Structure 1
Amino acid sequence: MKTLLFPLTLFFFFVGCQNKKNENDKISYTEGEILTISKSDLQDKIKGGWAGQVIGCTYGGPTEFQWNGTMIGDHVPIPWDETRMLWYYENSPGLYDDVYMDLTFVDVFEKHGLDAPDSLHALAFAKAEYPLWHANQAARYNILNGIMPPESGFWKNNPHADDIDFQIEADFAGLMAPGMPNTAADIGWRIGHIMNYGDGVYGGIYVAAMYSLAFVYDDMEFIVEEALQTVPPESEFYQCIADVIQWYKQDPEDWKSAWFEAQKKWTFDKGCPDGVFRPFNIDAKINAAYIVIGLLYGNGDFGATVDISTRCGYDSDCNPANAAGILGTMIGYSQIPDYWKQGIGKVEGMNFQYTDMSLNKVYDIGYRHASEMIQRYGGSEEGEDFLIQYQAPETVPLEVGFEGLFPTERRRIGKQLTRQNPELSFEIEGCGFVVDGRAAKEGNLPEAVLEMDVYVDGELLETAKIPTKWLIRRHELTWNYDSSEEKHTVTLKAKNISEGYRIETGDLLVYSTNDPGARGYFE
């Protein structure tokens, strides 16, 4: 791998810029220190970051959410050869959703400049033709219905606010901010609140900070620890990753021991309606833990990093994509082993689905954006080099989603609201609820937006607008986290529903301000 060299003349020229040693005698740069990176190395690292994402995503593709709450055993073969990437590009291009989601934001910066307002990013994301899920889809619905960021990602407006969504699409923010983790975090803070809040935003900021630091450090353990300084220590996200780091230090040879500890402590999902009381888990922190397990226990080996992150399970294409992208940035495209790059030449010129961008295009665009950002934030261009003004990581503000709430019950409703039967009621005991489901229609009837009045104890909570069109669907039918802690009657009533249309209810989640675990219910 190629290392960054800090010229001796510059070392003495910039006052107060001497690097220091951390507690493990590892090099740690100081705020404002000027670092030199050649243009060729910058390009190589940017290519390594983008290519790494595609490689990791492709490798983990056949395993995604097939192993929930369990690791993928060493005996399970995961195929890899020169045909894999081309096959997915041609037959299952939706696999690369975490890449083409990144490219939405890259494209806005490219078309509207690096000062493009958050609203342009939000509208480009909401009006795109690709399908979305979880926090992304909830945010799309919010934006299309006039709830703009940061409210579109706020947990009371978005039941998926702690989910993985921004974490898997935040790579661009770090790749455009070499050695500038606070700049990466600022981009992440603004765009992350389009679809997430709290831990969901921290996941993206943490990933972006690791990318940023991977341009200037070649010690993955240090990168993992240093990037965490951008996240508030009071947050569960920080505590989860700090635990993984500690488990690694206690036993740096056995990644499965860290996996077991993370599984025991950090797999409880309280927000995501699809994951509460189920083995499915798309929460940001546990999936970030699997990124970090791959990065730490992979010990700089590209194949081991990708394989370990994949075998941790859950979102096992996105997690190795992040891990491989970060490591690819650290070592550069040229140092990714040929075995793992086999077949990439066949796809680098192919546009990702829903975009007019290929890897080759984003290699160039990413280089230009990083060059502009370096010069915008105190650096400069000097011949065949760039001088980067290093930023020591700073902590972003604390946010806590779903604070003081505890899921206590999941039960099936499974009834339909139709023209003949437009109303149903149910009782809950607690302070809040979520009802999942969808709007549907018969045959070739036109798409429509159905309406449903939601009453709590006879008082109108909202009139929910529920599209039948899947692309712009409301991810949940209705929810509320703000009721008093007592028994409530909830009534759903379809408004003016036409023949051939229906609202299908699924599961009901009930929330309480009382922790059932503290009362011994789950002991």
Structure 2
Amino acid sequence: MNRRFSSPTRWLRLSLDEYVDRMKAGWIGQMVGVGWGGPTEFRYTGAIIPEQEIPAWRPEMVNQFWQDDLYVEMTFLRTLERYGLGVNIRQAGIDFANSRYPLWHANRQGRENLRRGIAPPDSGHPQFNPHADDIDYQIEADFSGLIAPGIPQAAIDLGEVFGRLMNYGDGVYGGQFVGGMYASAFFEKEPVKIVEAGLQCIPSRSQYAEAVRDVLRWYRQYPQDWQRTWQLVEQKYNRNPDYRRFSCTWGDFNIDAKLNGAYIVMGLLYGQGDIERTIMISTRCGQDSDCNPSNAAGVLFTTIGYSRLPERFKSHLDTRASFAHSDYTFEKLIDVCVKLARQAVVRYGGRVERDGNGREVWQIPVKPPRPSRLVQSWVPEPPSGVRYSPREMARIGELPWAHALAKSFEEWAPGWSLHHCGEDMDPGLRPEWNGRKNVFMTHPLNRQTPCVIARTVEIPADRNVLLRLTVGHHPGGDWTLVVRASGEELLRQTVGEKTARNGWLDVTVDLSRYAGQNVLIELLNEPNGWSWEAGYWAKIDLETR
């Protein structure tokens, strides 16, 4: 007679106090990493950042509440808070579609797809999203492990809900890998074991898994020489087209999830538990050099815990500040994560108990993770053809972002209207910008479509009319100001460091030639590249003499 014997379940024990201590540290780690690496982002692509280019840490740098690495996570957490861990992917997509913050690459295309009615998971499918293997879900997947202590399957499952909104294949696996590392970091301190735990959460035959295994192997071969490993990663995952089959083709940078994921792993392995060294290495690897140290530091800080963090990384944290585009303060974020983590413990077979002293303790069963099925962006499966229903579409854009922005602009500049304004860089009214008050910021819709400010004006037959503008630019970029009257181009002027004094340019255009006519005046914020293309408007006046 054959009998099957199952091995007894192994349990992990985690007190609520210890969970909060580590989870809180994980969030701070993200903020420290993105803040420290931020000044170097995409400045070095295919090159190691010189050590002297890394800024010195200052305690006030921790307050990175405005970073996209973080505010997208707040949307996901709010969805989970409202609907629970069993939320369906269609509802997650509706909530993401209704977000109003600036996005880039896979996030932006995924959200545009959702707003057009392409429901998830097709919103992240390569047929509709050319950025499907980009880094996007990877940089915003930290939440999935921070609410799943010792529960890697939860991080995998959350990736199938939220990661599929904008990514596919390796783009999703990067986030599941990161989430799996966080889930492990509540109970494991050894970086190699944490990385191996994350590796168990993704398909073994994926190129992402191959990249992680390569870094582990090269680390063992060259344990004291991270730059040697960087060279090997560079040759295989940046320069070899076989590993860039679905990489983004914008610019000369590489925002592919697996390359940047390799840099996360390098920071953790070669950092060997040291905070500064971990962040420095992940940052100095280059490319997306704020997101990568953010992931690495978040995982590492989770292993350390808030109570054991050096004061310089937490002393200036503003716990009452809200994350951009969210009602969550840091304190509220911690409360929401506790609520969701309790749900995860019970949902995945654990128990919430009290010890002899009445303290809350979680018993968590150890279960091997079941990775998602292997798919690859360069040979994708056919899209599922799912679309949002008319009733669902009615719930998207209940207060359209563009409408709200246009209304705000009309209040700022009565008589003028705003058209084709893009969402990058968070356009809108700035109470103060570069020494000027009440400045309105605009941004081109895309690389081909300028933002347009328009007004129809009756030019008196017997008076001179002058259009007077004061416009500014972002310190990191420039843009082209175009003035048109009834379709005729009257001015084309670069607004940038070489033309603007102290960041501002005064412009006067004489409209007297149109005396006695009704004229459509158009002011264009036109891109002349695709880097910090925002237009800052301090004055738009029509002066009649």
- Give the counterpart letter for 1:447 in structure 2: H
Q: For residues 445 and 356 of structure 1, do their structure 2 counterparts lie closer, same or farther at Cα, with a shift above 3 Å needed?
A: closer
Deviation of the 1:234 alpha carbon: 1.8
| Superposition TM-score, scaled by structure 1 size | 0.70
- CA drift of 1:79 comes to 2.1
Q: Is 1:124 the counterpart of 2:95 in the alignment?
A: yes
| One-letter amino acid of the structure 2 residue matched with residue 166 of structure 1 | Y
CA offsets 1:321-340 (integer angstroms, 9 cap, x no match): 11111111122112222233
**Cα distance in 2, alignment partners of residues 217 and 394 from structure 1:** 20
Shift of residue 127 of structure 1?
A: 1.6
- In the alignment of these two chains, the number of paired residues is 394
CA distance in structure 2 between the partners assigned to 1:197 and 1:287 by the alignment: 16
The residue aligned with 1:78 is 55
State the alpha-carbon separation in 2 of the partners of residues 505 and 97 from structure 1: 22
Secondary structure at 2:102's aligned position in 1? coil
Of residues 302, 307, 312, the one that matches 2:285 is: 312
CA distance in 2, matches of 1:505, 1:399: 36
- Cα offset, 1:271, TM superposition: 2.9
How far did 1:341 drift?
Answer: 2.6
Single out whichever of 75-84 and 129-138 deviates more from structure 2. 75-84
Matches within 5 A, 1:292-307: 292-307=265-280
TM-score by length of 2: 0.67
Aligned to 1:35, the other structure's residue is in SS state strand
Please provide the CA RMSD for this pair. Answer: 2.9
Aligned match for 1:284, one of 239, 248, 257: 257
- Hey, what does 2:212 align to over in structure 1? 241
Distance 1:506 1:120, change over 3 A: farther
Distance 2:25 2:351 in 1: 23
Q: Deviations over 1:383-437 (max 9, x none)?
A: 1211011222223210101239xxxxxxxxxxxxxxxxxxxxxxxxxxxxxxxxx
Q: Kindly report which structure 2 residues correspond to 1:183-198, keeping only aligned pairs within 5 A, or say none.
A: 183-198=154-169
SS in 2 for 1:108: helix
State how far apart, in whole Å, the 1-side matches of 2:181 and 2:325 are. 28
**Quick check: 1:172 aligned with 2:147?**
no
Q: What is the aligned partner in structure 2 of residue 370 from structure 1?
A: 341
CA distances 1:287-338 after superposition (whole Å, capped 9, x unpaired): 0001000000111112211111111111111111111111111221122222
**Per-residue deviation at 1:279?**
3.1
Contact kept in structure 2, 1:181 and 1:393, CA below 8 Å = yes
Partner of 2:419: 447
Q: Which has the larger radius of gyration?
A: 2
Q: Deviations over 1:25-55 (max 9, x none)?
A: xxxxxxx421111111111111111111111
| Corresponding residue for residue 226 of structure 2 | 255
The one-letter code sitting in structure 1 at the alignment partner of 2:198 is A
Match of 1:134 among 96, 105, 129: 105
Partner in structure 2 of residue 33 of structure 1: 10
**For each residue in 1:105-148, what CA deviation from the matched residue of structure 2 results, as whole angstroms up to 9, or x when unmatched?**
00111122222222222122122110011001101110000101
- State the Cα distance separating 1:446 from its structure 2 match: 4.9
Flag structure 1 segments of 5+ consecutive residues without an equivalent: 1-13, 18-31, 405-442, 450-468, 478-497, 508-523
Distance 1:473 1:398 in 2: 35
Aligned position for 2:409:
none
Q: Tell me how far 1:472 sits from its aligned partner.
A: 11
CA contact (8 A) 1:303 1:340 kept: no
Query: What SS does the aligned partner of 2:59 have?
Result: coil
Match of 1:221 in 2: 192
1:331 aligns with 2:307: no
* In structure 2, distance between residues paired with 1:205 and 1:337: 29
Matches within 5 A, 1:337-376: 337-344=310-317, 347-376=318-347
Match of 1:210, as an amino acid?
M
Task: Check conservation: 2:448, 2:527, Cα contact below 8 A.
Answer: no
Counterpart code for 1:372: Q
- From the superposition, tell whether residues 374 and 310 of structure 1 become closer, same or farther in structure 2 (CA, over 3 Å): same
The alpha carbon displacement at 1:506 in A equals 10
Q: Mark the CA change 1:254 to 1:448 in structure 2 (over 3 Å): closer, same or farther.
A: closer
| Structure 1 contact 259–312 (Cα < 8 Å) conserved | yes
Other structure's SS at 1:83 match: helix
| Unpaired segments ≥5 residues, structure 2 | 381-414, 422-440, 450-485, 488-521, 530-545
Relative to structure 1, is the Cα distance of residues 38 and 105 closer, same or farther in structure 2, using a 3 angstrom cutoff?
A: same
Could you tell me how far apart the structure 2 residues matched to 1:158 and 1:55 are? 31
Equivalence map 1:19-30=2 (5 Å)? none
Q: Distance in 2 between matches of 1:39 and 1:178?
A: 11
Q: In the alignment, residue 151 of structure 2 is paired with which amino acid? A: M
**8 Å contact 2:420–2:444 — kept in the other structure?**
no
Q: CA deviation at 1:215?
A: 1.4
Quote the sequence identity (%).
Answer: 41
